[in-house]
Structure 1
Amino acid sequence: MKLNSLTLLIGRRYALSQRHSQLVSFISSVSIVGLVVGVALLILVLSIMNGFDRELRERILGIMPHAALYHRDGIVEYESLADRLRAHPDVDTAIPFVQMEGLLSFRREVAPTRIYGIPTAERESLAVLADSVPEAAWESLAQHPRGVMLGAGLARKLSVGEGEKLTLVVPPGAGEGAPTIEALEVLAVFDTGTELDNNLALMALARASDLTRAPGAASGIRLQVNDLFIAPDLVRQLARELPGGFYTSDWTRTHGNLYQAIHMSKQMVGLLLFLIIAIAAFNLVSTLIMVVVDKQGDIAILRTLGASSGEILGIFMVQGGVIGIVGTALGTLAGIGMSLWVTEFVQWLEQLLNFQFLHSDVYPISYLPSAIHWPDVAQVSVTALVLSLVASLYPAWRATRVQPAEALRFE
């Protein structure tokens, strides 16, 4: 292949010029549009998948712990244990908590709930909840002996609002007698936009502990770690360093299936859309073959004027390259633009149609997230360019096989 001013000029004209053959212009435009659509859709879908991944890590796992240490009899000296765990270099936060299952009742509505008791002084470690709940509500939770904060989905199920009173029923432990019944007052309703809103209720640690079979003790210590993926091994290592009776849990047990599903979906959808790009790129084969047939007379004239096979090859490689560059560039810009605005667009569309596409009782979050991952954008763009150049090789080689005498016989 030989590139010079002649091959660059003619190849660029064949790809972009509107003043020559309408057939050449049309099929070049179709090839560019195919690449634009394929590249833009792949970038958009990968960004949405990355958004789900980010929301899982930052929102859902910002509320629920990366890992947790439990004791079968409850943890009485939980403050000293939390201080000991915080000393580990890979542990960001270690906070005691109380966790129990129960039923909330308001008038004729009943809903299962997960009661989560936390030290209100440590609320900043729950960044998502800290942002979703007013400061005054946290202060009331610390002072109110019967205060509770409900997730938005749970409050909707019960048709309850702030300031109203409801009843909590905590089932007895194994071998125990009657259930614990407690009257509570709703201090606030929080909306994190995640599935946790459908069953989570927050109480002050001390008050929640009084409702368990081990009053004054914490159920466990929640850990947030530096690296999400070391949490399972780290918490098991920490448990081995403690006395007997401790057991562990981590995010791979509570939300691991969701994480795997997101990544599998990203890979499968990415593969399907990659095939769309491949099809669009290899449409260049038929496109350039048609151009070669349409331009046989021009090729023959160039050959009689002294153009070499390398220059003819270069002309059609330049045409394929220009189509690939223009299509990939426009597709990349379109994909980035759609990725930046897709969340707001879907929210606007939901308001316009008065219909919610994602519900947190079905999906992990109630909105469509998007997060542009620049290595993914670069990989998609480079792949599209390479496929465009590879697809141009065969038609360009066919152009070099055109015989001038045969091509000019009927001109």
Structure 2
Amino acid sequence: MYRPLALFLGLRYSQARRSSGFVSFISASSVIGITLGVMALILGLSAMNGFERELHNRVLSVVPHAETTLVRGEMADWQSARQLLESSTGITAAAPLIVLNGLLENGSRMKAVQLRAVLPEAEGHVSAAGRFMSGQGLLALKPGEDGMVLGKGIADKLGAQVGDTLTLMLPDVTASGEDAGLKSPQQRRFRIVSLLEIGGQLDSLLGFIHLNDAQQALNLGDRVQGFSLKTTDLMHAETLAFAAASRLDAPMYVRSWKNSQGYLYQDIQLVRTVMYVVMLMVVAVACFNIVSTLVMAVNEKRSDIAILKTMGAGAWQIRLTFMIQGLVNGLAGSVLGGVLGAGLSRYLTAAIHAIEGWLGHRFLNPDIYFIDFLPSELHGSDVIIVCGSALLMSLLATLYPAWRASGLQPARELGHG
């Protein structure tokens, strides 16, 4: 069967036993180095993909895409304003909102909390928080019943559970002037009807009550402070919300998820970029071993190269021979690293969970991070890009030794023989 001379010799040289054990060690270390670098990079990128997925599926499905609130006072005819917002370009849903800042008390335990007062039916079109709630979720909030959906992190710190009644202390909105700071806070009893458990920092931040209960507590009548918005384009939510809020007569503040959670998205992208650079440098260092291997191989095969050139082998045939020999190492490392990285990434979450159980220590503290586990999601494009980059660097590493081999002079080499 016909095979090109360069391919035949390159594969034969790559499979031949080395006369020096050190050369064999350098060759094996180049394959191992590329394998480990490619595997580590695929695992790291899979983890970053997992964090980005959880950011979208958990945090950004619970946190409204944008919010618009009055600069001062409350809005009376909010039903008309809501219809106007929902008819705006890029806005798919709007829900009325009141925010209460207060202190929750359960016996001797107290915790500052920010509660979102919502209409359960309307909020369901803006947020998917109900997916992470026990029981009926937001639908368990009934007007006039003083029910509360509380983040599990808040409930744990207060030692409370579903069915318990907590005291909510709010500033006295009727107090003014010098006596405002001396007035005792308003107290209102709320019963926990459901728990919110996302599995991260939001469990210690979020709480919900019915809009009517908040209006009664603050003596607002049928007025609201603003609206939660869902947009068609998550990355341009602030721009779309600003354009929609501009259609209202009253001056409005506009905030998007980027104000509260945008740093998470930026951190993920930054870590992804840094990981690409660092891990590709690790692969590049491993590829330098290919240079060492081929330089030593050229020195071993000086007489063979001279004989081949005497028999009519061209410079490019000599070059391709050693380029193929080096690419075999790069291809082996890339394939092994790609297979190991892709395989391990599927079990990364379970493996880290098992290690946490064995050590008795949680790597991601839910009070600090937005999730309390290490997610993983493998993208085929990442595997292709990483393996392709490693193979390209392996090819570049063969150029110098290959050109050096093609420059040998047969007469000088054979004359020494």
TM-score calculated relative to the size of structure 1: 0.91
Specify the alignment match of 1:399 in structure 2.
Answer: 405
Secondary structure of the residue aligned to 1:260 is: helix
**Cα distance, 1:49 vs structure 2:** 2.0
Structure 2 residue 61 is the aligned partner of structure 1 residue 62: yes
Note the 1:185-200 alignment, pairs <5 A: 185-200=191-206
Q: Is residue 151–residue 196 contact of structure 1 (8 Å, CA) maintained in 2?
A: yes
Query: Does the alignment pair 1:159 with 2:159?
Result: yes
1:316 aligned partner, one-letter code: F
Contact 2:51 2:268 in 1 (8 A): yes
RMSD: 2.5
> Contact 1:150/1:202 (CA < 8 Å) preserved in 2?
yes
- Alpha-carbon deviations, 1:16-73, whole Å to 9, x = none? x265556454433221111111112112212222322232233212111111111122
Alpha-carbon distance in structure 1 between the residues aligned to 2:208 and 2:42: 39
Contact 1:123 1:130 in 2 (8 A): no
- Residue type matched to 2:88 in 1? H
- Whether 1:211 aligns to 2:217 is yes
**Matched-pair contact (CA < 8 Å) for 2:103–2:111:** yes
Q: Is the 8 A contact 1:36 1:330 kept in 2?
A: yes
* Letter matched to residue 37 of structure 1: L
SS in 1 for 2:308: helix
3-state SS of paired residue (1:85): helix
Paired residues for 1:351-362 under 5 Å: 351-362=357-368
**CA distance, structure 1, for counterparts of residue 82 and residue 251 of structure 2:** 16
CA distance in 2, matches of 1:172, 1:332: 62
Call closer, same or farther: CA 1:77–1:130 in 2, change over 3 Å.
same
Tell me, yes or no, if the aligned pair for 2:81 and 2:248 is still in contact at 8 Å. Answer: no
Does residue 117 (structure 1) correspond to residue 123 (structure 2)? The answer is no
Contact 1:18 1:25 in 2 (8 A): no
2:378 counterpart SS class: coil
Q: Is the 8 A contact 1:60 1:194 kept in 2?
A: no
Identity of aligned residues (%): 34
Give distance in 2, aligned partners of 1:127 and 1:332: 38
1:127-206 to structure 2, matched below 5 A, reads 128-142=128-142, 145-173=145-173, 175=176, 177-206=183-212
User: Could you state the TM-score of these two structures normalised by the residue count of structure 2?
Assistant: 0.89
2:34 match: 35
Work out the CA distance in 1 between the residues paired with 2:311 and 2:327. Answer: 25
Give secondary structure in 1 for the equivalent of 2:116. Answer: strand
For the Cα contact (< 8 Å) 2:137–2:194, is it kept in 1?
yes
Q: Is the 8 A contact 2:365 2:372 kept in 1?
A: yes
State the alpha-carbon separation in 2 of the partners of residues 84 and 22 from structure 1. Answer: 80
Q: How far off its partner does 1:181 sit?
A: 1.0
C-alpha distance after superposition, 1:179-224 (max 9, x if no partner)? 2211111222221013110121121222233223534322221112
What SS does the corresponding residue of 2:105 show, helix, strand or coil?
A: strand
Deviates further, 394-403 or 376-385: 376-385
Q: Deviations over 1:260-292 (max 9, x none)?
A: 222222222322122112222233212211221
Unaligned 5+ segments in structure 1 are none
The residue number in structure 2 matching 1:344 is 350
Separation in structure 2 between the aligned mates of residue 388 and residue 137 of structure 1, nearest angstrom: 55
Tell me the matched-pair count: 408
Q: Secondary structure at the match of 2:114?
A: strand
Report the Cα distance in structure 1 between the residues aligned to 2:130 and 2:281, rounded to whole angstroms: 44
